[in-house]
Structure 1
Amino acid sequence: MTPLTEQELHQLAMNIVGKEMEELGFEFISINSKPKKNPQFVALKDKTLHFVVVRAISYPANPVEYDQVFMNKLKDHGIKFKARTYYAGVGLANSKNYEIPVHHEEDYTINFAGLIEIK
């Protein structure tokens, strides 16, 4: 069995967040699927610009906890563009055993609390 790479985990998280944003009525302006290029999503909703940082988080780390210093820097950057800034941590775990990596051939569990606005 082959574990998912960091890029594949990130892409999975991007798909989960992107689908949620579509359902919430966001219009995508740009999408950057590289894990270290931020924000991953720049989108419009209600004529307001939104920056969204996506992170794939492996068990046992908590997907709602984020690097506050980094996110505040990105929020300050967003303010220059009159954008609201969000963090989207997607917890991913192997559904058979949380202690082993997510594999291509096995089901996985998602822990996603939605977009967290950085205030």
Structure 2
Amino acid sequence: MAKLTEQEIHNLAMNIVGKDLEDKGFEFLGVNSELKRNPQFVALKDKKLHFVIVRAISYPNDPKFLDEILMSTIKDHAIKFNARTFYAGVGLANSEDFTKELTSESDYVVNYDGFQEF
């Protein structure tokens, strides 16, 4: 049973948020799934630019908790582009036992309430 890498877990979170953005009518201008590169999504909706930061959060950490310093830095950058800034925390856990790591064979539970504006 191969343990998922940090990048693979991040990609899971990216897929969840990307699908949510797509379902809400956002048009992607840029997608960056590389770890530690921000923002993950640059998207357009109603002729307005949106920067979306995605974080995969492991149990027992709260996916709604955001890094204020990081988000302030991104917001300062977004202002230069007249863009809105959003945070999307995606909680992921092994469905059999939340304390176990995610593997390529395990099912997982998602704790995602959508993206929030910063």
TM-score by length of 1: 0.97
| 1:76 aligns to 2:48 (yes or no) | no
1:59 correspondence with 2:65 = no
Tell me the equivalent position of 1:4: 4
2:104 paired with 1:104? yes
Distance 1:31 1:115 in 2: 16
RMSD between superposed Cα atoms in Å: 0.5
The offset of 1:73, in angstroms, is 1.1
Question: 3-state SS of the aligned residue for 1:15?
Answer: helix
Deviations 1:47-105 (A, max 9, x none): 00000010110001100001101101111110110000000010000000000101110
**Is 1:39 the counterpart of 2:39 in the alignment?**
yes
List alignment gaps of at least 5 residues for structure 2. none
CA separation in 2, counterparts of 1:113 and 1:32?
21
Within 1, Cα distance between the matches of 2:85 and 2:23? Answer: 18
User: In the TM superposition, what is the alpha-carbon distance from 1:22 to its structure 2 partner?
Assistant: 0.2
The letter for the 1-side match of 2:28 is F
User: Is this contact kept in 2: 1:29–1:42, CA < 8 A?
Assistant: yes
Mapped contact 1:35–1:55 kept (Cα < 8 A)? no
- Separation in 1, partners of 2:68, 2:116: 12
- Percent identity, aligned pairs only, is 60
TM-score by length of 2: 0.98
State the alpha-carbon separation in 1 of the partners of residues 73 and 103 from structure 2. 34
